[in-house]
Amino acid sequence: MTQEQDHGRSTAAHGSRIDAYIDRYAARAAGMVASEVRALFAVASRPEVVSLAGGMPYVTALPLDSVGELVADLVARRGTVALQYGSGQGDAHLREQICEVMRLEGIEAGADDVVVTVGSQQALDLITRIFIDPGDVILAEGPSYVGALGTFSAYEASVVHVAMDDHGLVPEALAETIASLARQGRRIKFLYTIPNFQNPAGVTLNAARRRQVLDICHRAGVLVVEDNPYGLLGFDGEPMRALRADDPEGVVYLGSFSKTLAPGFRVGWALAPHAVRDKLVLAMESAVLSHSSFSQLAVGQYLATQPWREQIKTFRELYRERRDTMLAALEALMPAGCSWTRPAGGFFVWMTLPEGLDSKAILPRAVAERVAFVPGTGFYADGSGARNMRLSYCYPEPHRIREGVRRLAGVIEQELVIRDTFGTGSAPSHSGVDTPGPDVA
Amino acid sequence: MTQEQDHGRSTAAHGSRIDAYIDRYAARAAGMVASEVRALFAVASRPEVVSLAGGMPYVTALPLDSVGELVADLVARRGTVALQYGSGQGDAHLREQICEVMRLEGIEAGADDVVVTVGSQQALDLITRIFIDPGDVILAEGPSYVGALGTFSAYEASVVHVAMDDHGLVPEALAETIASLARQGRRIKFLYTIPNFQNPAGVTLNAARRRQVLDICHRAGVLVVEDNPYGLLGFDGEPMRALRADDPEGVVYLGSFSKTLAPGFRVGWALAPHAVRDKLVLAMESAVLSHSSFSQLAVGQYLATQPWREQIKTFRELYRERRDTMLAALEALMPAGCSWTRPAGGFFVWMTLPEGLDSKAILPRAVAERVAFVPGTGFYADGSGARNMRLSYCYPEPHRIREGVRRLAGVIEQELVIRDTFGTGSAPSHSGVDTPGPDVA
């Protein structure tokens, strides 16, 4: 028996190694490969590991008694509606309530222009489905949300990053990128932006720049997709005015109850110009027929009967304390040469390592030292981000955040010793799609 | 002012007529246009109309008290899990329970090969996403499920219908179609089939043909996608053995709790060969991150604490009575020249009108007479079905079914008079995508 035959037999015996369909997938499936990072995150979910990787909201802060009562009441009063199919656009009353939530950010909109989706992730998927042919350009901040990049890649979009600084997207960079792409004859379909407490960078687009970004996109005929899951979770003063508030025809706004209530219902939405909304509803029906009536009515019941504004305030205070804890720990413990952003809301700090260090190479060592983070490369479509990592403070208790930062600082110090001895830190691991699972997105 | 300018202004004033994005959509969005049939279904949802159009299960037959208790208990005991993000593949315990359900149809499978989806509609969407490049061929029964055709069209697949008779898909026709496509050099990606109590035709693939269909597809290297929402809702004896039970590597099986429990949780699943399952999970994460934990745990809790097999029996008895009622009424009331199928389970009867009649043209008249159905053309990708209509008996009470058939028979009789007077029935309305909303799919 030749070695090749033997190899063939042993993998067949294992059952799961040979993909009989390998030559039959669609072109878009080529990029659907799990990264080796995922295995590490499985380890990172052990209780002894402090995970600064996850983007999970701290749902323990919810009034579980009240939620239990309201879902029971929902089944008793409206069970046959909650358990039945609903409309593709979503429950009409919930859409009214969503308009009320958006009003907090200056948005005046009618329920008829809202489509309820399976989390704002699905809104992103449907918008991409409607607008993107393979090769079309999407502009996105660099870095940008890993889950959005995964979706854009699934539709074979070409993502072009636009520079960001501590005040968010840089308007001049946006204008230059658009002009340069126009010169190359490339078609820009939309700008994807997370203006508030950006995931992963933690920075916020300031008010002056919002006007500029809208103007630039309007002039260039570029649709703006405003993804705003964290907008109500600012630590200072009133929520910022949404981009959508000043340009109803030029912006598709994506919202979510995942961070202001709970992700477990998977209720998000898109607010879109009327014609786009029509297409979204048809795309929604083709994708899932309709969202869960039960989930939608439960969220509606929560908004109607619970002090939801107070609950958001509770979340804000809780996350503010954790942000403070993380920033203080970073300040006290991180070695010289590390820098990081200072978020005014949301869940994330974006750290930049000293020259010569590679965050993905460091991750296995960090997990061995019982701390996890998300390496920076997953947040770029172009391979950037090797010196970056996303640290989240939303889920661990403050004393665990301090301990996590302490462990991470120790790992980075060791890496610096290696770098100073051998001229480089740990070798980068081989590449792959750095999409962590949904629990850390 | 020219007439053209005036026209432009008045439509702008109406606000919703001009689509500023018309030249920016993806190619796949071109087919996303609502049909005029939708407006009629809005009328058909009025209480005075007997809807034989909807595919809504009769959830009133559920033990609402028990469901209310179990969701309250779920929040009390496992609230922080139910309200949190879950894994992209779906809750591990629910996937075990799903394997137990599938065992009723002879399927032996591991929970690791199951992916929980937002209804089986999403499983269909994800399978299509993974396999279909524009122009790829999907084989499907003629007629086939309208929601599947919508999804296939959204991915720009080319659907080729295979003939069906009272015993389901015709194996000889399948073999011929595959051979003919091969001669044309066209690429068949999968066969989409609903073997049990097919939607819309109500027919079932017999046991002998199941083996033949698997053999033909295996030899041709064509994946089988077995969509089986109604398999446990047969009126005679034990459930049929699933195609998947005899070919684990060649079949992707789609299941759903929408008809055996309730559609309101939107819990369906795909069981796939291992490598395909990997891609499904990644596609799922890119589409929605994860399904609702709350929905999944509620279904799991229901299966763990309630007599779900008894409940399915209750549904079976209830639908059997309604099927009997409909068949008896059709027999007694329909004019000569009409014919229809005799389903042994599921929700639907497929009727064929006499020569010269057009079901879509009849629909407005029927709605005026307070009865609704779904015209046949929506169930074909190739414009066939003008003489067909789908009649569903799942939702209306038996006396309403009788009354609905009586009204429909009256309308058809009038049409026959028109035909015999003028040589043709009511003129067909203009075409469009005949996708009814999710409540009637």
Type of residue numbered A137: V
Please indicate if any CB of chain B lies within 8 Å of the CB of A108: no
Distances (CA, A) of B389 to B40, B354, B399: 15, 12, 21
Domain assignments of chain B as residue spans, ordered by start:
28-54+310-422, 65-306
Say whether A275 and B24 touch across the interface (CB within 8 A): no
Q: What is the pLDDT of residue B13?
A: 38
Q: Which residues contact B138 (CB under 8 A, 6 or more apart)?
A: B128, B132, B152, B157, B158, B159, B160, B188, B189, B190, B191, B192
Q: Give rounded-to-5 percent helix, strand, coil for chain B.
A: 50, 15, 40
DSSP structure class, residue A242: P
Tell whether domain A28-54+310-422 is in CATH 3.40.50.300. no
Distances (CA, A) of A232 to A146, A256, A408, B291: 21, 11, 30, 24
CA distance B391 to chain A (A): 18
Q: First vs last Cα of chain B: how many Å apart? A: 47
With a cut of 60, say whether residue B37 has pLDDT above it.
yes
B117-155: per-residue pLDDT in tens?
999 999 999 999 999 999 999 999 999 999 999 999 999
B241-267: per-residue pLDDT in tens?
999 999 999 999 999 999 999 999 999
**Rounded distance, CA A244 to CA A255, Å?**
11
| 10-residue stretch averages of pLDDT, chain A, 441 residues long | 37 54 90 73 85 94 96 97 96 98 98 98 98 97 96 96 97 98 96 98 98 98 97 96 98 98 98 96 96 98 98 98 98 98 98 96 95 95 96 97 98 95 71 49 51
With a cut of 60, say whether residue B438 has pLDDT above it.
no
CA distance B425 to chain A (A): 32
CB contacts of B35 in chain A (<8 Å) are none
**Rounded distance, CA B113 to CA B95, Å?**
9
- Kindly give the interhelix angle for B64-82 and A64-82, rounded to the nearest 10 degrees: 140
Residue A164 pairs in a beta bridge with: A169
Select from B209, B205, B215 the least CA-distant residue to B240. Answer: B205
Residue A226 pairs in a beta bridge with: A193, A253
Please indicate if any CB of chain A lies within 8 Å of the CB of B30: no
Please indicate if any CB of chain A lies within 8 Å of the CB of B276: yes
Domain A65-306 fold is Aspartate Aminotransferase; domain 2 (3.40.640)
Q: What is the pLDDT of residue B36?
A: 61
Closest partner residue to A34 (CB to CB) among B130, B262, B282 is B282
**Rounded distance, CA A144 to CA A140, Å?**
6
Mean pLDDT, chain B, whole residue set: 92
- Across B370-390, average pLDDT: 96
User: Looking up tokens 């687009």, which residue turns up?
Assistant: A205
B314-344: per-residue pLDDT in tens?
999 999 999 999 999 999 999 999 999 999 9
- Across B211-215, average pLDDT: 98
Say whether A85 and B264 touch across the interface (CB within 8 A): yes
pLDDT confidence band for B412 (50 / 70 / 90):
very high
Query: ipTM of the assembly?
Result: 0.93
pLDDT confidence band for B85 (50 / 70 / 90):
very high
Q: What is the pLDDT of residue A44?
A: 77
CB burial class (10 A; 0-12, 13-18, 19+) of residue A88? Answer: buried
Please indicate if any CB of chain A lies within 8 Å of the CB of B296: no
Say whether A264 and B83 touch across the interface (CB within 8 A): yes
With a cut of 80, say whether residue B186 has pLDDT above it.
yes
Please indicate if any CB of chain A lies within 8 Å of the CB of B42: no
Q: Which residues contact B171 (CB under 8 A, 6 or more apart)?
A: B209, B212, B213, B216
Q: Which residues contact A295 (CB under 8 A, 6 or more apart)?
A: A265, A266, A267, B266, B292, B294, B295
B25 token code pair = 């959509």
Q: Which residue of A has its CA nearest to B146?
A: A286
Cβ under 8 Å to B: A residues 177-196: 189
B2 vs A382 pLDDT, higher one: A382
Say whether B79 and A87 touch across the interface (CB within 8 A): no
Q: What is the pLDDT of residue B428?
A: 61
Please indicate if any CB of chain B lies within 8 Å of the CB of A41: no
Select from A75, A7, A67 the least CA-distant residue to A294. Answer: A75
Closest partner residue to B279 (CB to CB) among A25, A87, A438 is A25
Q: What is the pLDDT of residue B311?
A: 98
For an interface test with B, the pick among A289, A290, A296, A392 (most B C-beta atoms closer than 10 Å) comes out as A289
Work out the percent of chain B whose per-residue pLDDT is above 70: 92
Say whether A85 and B263 touch across the interface (CB within 8 A): yes
pLDDT confidence band for B200 (50 / 70 / 90):
very high
